Homo-oligomer: A and B are copies of this chain.
Amino acid sequence: MNVVTCIAPINIAVIKYWGKRDDDLILPVNDSISTTLDKDHLCTKTTAMASSDFKEDRMWLNGSEQSMDNPRLQNCLRELKKRAQISEEMQNWKLHICSENNFPTAAGLASSAAGYACLVTTIAKLYKVEGEVSELARVGSGSACRSMYGGFVRWFMGSDPKGSDSIAKPIVPVSHWPDMRILILVINDSQKKVSSAQGMKRTLMTSELIKYRIDKILPTKINQMQQAILNKDFESFAELTMKDSNQMHAVCLDTYPPCIYMNDTSHLIVDLIHSYNATSSKIKVAYTFDAGPNATLFLLEKDVPEFVSVLDHYFPSIENINIEYKKGIAIETILPSKNLLEKINFTKQTAGKLKYIIHTRIGNGPEQLSDCKSHLLNSQGLPVASLITNC
């Protein structure tokens, strides 16, 4: 049967990608480094099916049918066909694609990276494409190439104008740093944002500071970050992560008109983390922000219960039986010590500033699901009845 289903993870950059030197091929102006998150908690699942019976290419995303006119999607599919190892006849069969996230779209978590990583992985299997395919994911959505591997991943900007060397490579696998944990704080927000594609284009055109970041700061920093990961040096990793996030948002603010992604709550989270870290002689928690207000925090497993007790104290949740406030890996509930709270220079916030939190870990890259029950398309090539998927 010509059907394949795969799942692919999202990734969070700790040295950010912001700016393209080629808009069509999505070639970045700097190397970036990311962590791949566990697919148990955040992933995209995609089923692709090819059949001589299909009249046209069709695609469903999160339950609704989408146009396939998107030029990036067409670029991806064309490149996949070029490298296909299947008969010409089969290559001419029309495709049905169905894709789902296991997390709400409304969360504002960037899903295009997982989406394109999953699409490329799935169709590459279907077409029996061999070798490195992160380049193909990159053509769909730049940072998607980093979701093609697990653990800690580096996307090399490369120098080939055609982009053949602008690919992702793993730095270390999941097993290298097993006690690294991630908390995603989903923030209530309603403000409109400039899309990251538009934002980075505008930054590159108008920011004076980004030139210095690219030429003078990042070449050193990317290697420092890689070394911190290799050494499992949490404090260096954390400091580099926070500084790089701040600097990316600084060049966004230096853009004209400015691009603003963090909001007042994001900045309160930053403030709480610096105040919390200041209570001990060690950096225990790091934050990073992408093109939206949500915070992604890095911390070691041993520090999760204490930090979450502090977070719960200062950012109380609204009791709501309809929403599971804490998702992902279970967290031991403790109360923060009075002594600790006295040392933290921060004001308790009104309830409900955070929508929910996800506790997860570093995970592996995309994988194929062999169980035929996992397909999102039925034998007629139409989406299965239940669209609530559990990867």
Using a CB–CB cutoff of 8 Å, the interface residues on chain A facing chain B are: 191-192, 208-209, 212-213, 216-217, 239, 242-243, 246-247, 249-251, 253-258, 260, 263-264, 267-268, 270-271, 274, 347
Cβ-defined contact, B209 with A264, below 8 A: no
CB distance from A138 to the nearest CB of B (A): 28
The answer for the CA separation of A216 and B212 in the assembled complex, in Å, is 10
Cβ-defined contact, A270 with B258, below 8 A: yes
Cβ-defined contact, A260 with B253, below 8 A: no
List 24 A–B pairs whose Cβ atoms lie within 8 Å, in order of A's numbering.
A191-B267, A191-B268, A192-B347, A208-B213, A208-B216, A208-B247, A209-B209, A209-B213, A209-B247, A212-B212, A239-B256, A242-B256, A243-B256, A246-B253, A246-B255, A246-B256, A250-B253, A257-B270, A257-B271, A257-B274, A258-B270, A260-B267, A260-B270, A263-B264
The answer for the CA separation of A263 and B253 in the assembled complex, in Å, is 13
Cβ-defined contact, B191 with A264, below 8 A: yes
CB distance from A297 to the nearest CB of B (A): 15
Chain B residues with CB under 8 Å of A247's CB are: 208-209, 253-254
CB distance from A247 to the nearest CB of B (A): 5
- Taking CB as reference atom, which chain B residue is nearest A212? B212
Query: What DSSP secondary structure best describes chain A's contact surface?
Result: helix
CB distance from A391 to the nearest CB of B (A): 35
Chain B residues with CB under 8 Å of A249's CB are: 253
Q: Besides A209-B247, A243-B256, A250-B251, 4 other CB < 8 A contacts? A: A191-B268, A209-B212, A209-B250, A257-B274
The answer for the CA separation of A255 and B271 in the assembled complex, in Å, is 13
The answer for the CA separation of A274 and B243 in the assembled complex, in Å, is 29
The answer for the CA separation of A246 and B249 in the assembled complex, in Å, is 12
Chain B residues with CB under 8 Å of A243's CB are: 256
> Which 8 pairs across A and B sit closest by C-beta, in order of nearness?
A212-B212, A250-B254, A257-B274, A250-B250, A250-B253, A264-B264, A260-B267, A209-B209
- Taking CB as reference atom, which chain B residue is nearest A191? B264
- Taking CB as reference atom, which chain B residue is nearest A265? B264
Quick one: which of A217, A249, A256, A264 has the most chain B CB within 10 A?
A264
The answer for the CA separation of A256 and B245 in the assembled complex, in Å, is 11
Chain B residues with CB under 8 Å of A264's CB are: 191, 263-264
CB distance from A212 to the nearest CB of B (A): 4
CB distance from A217 to the nearest CB of B (A): 5
CB distance from A191 to the nearest CB of B (A): 7
- Taking CB as reference atom, which chain B residue is nearest A190? B347
The answer for the CA separation of A254 and B274 in the assembled complex, in Å, is 14
The answer for the CA separation of A213 and B207 in the assembled complex, in Å, is 11
CB distance from A236 to the nearest CB of B (A): 13
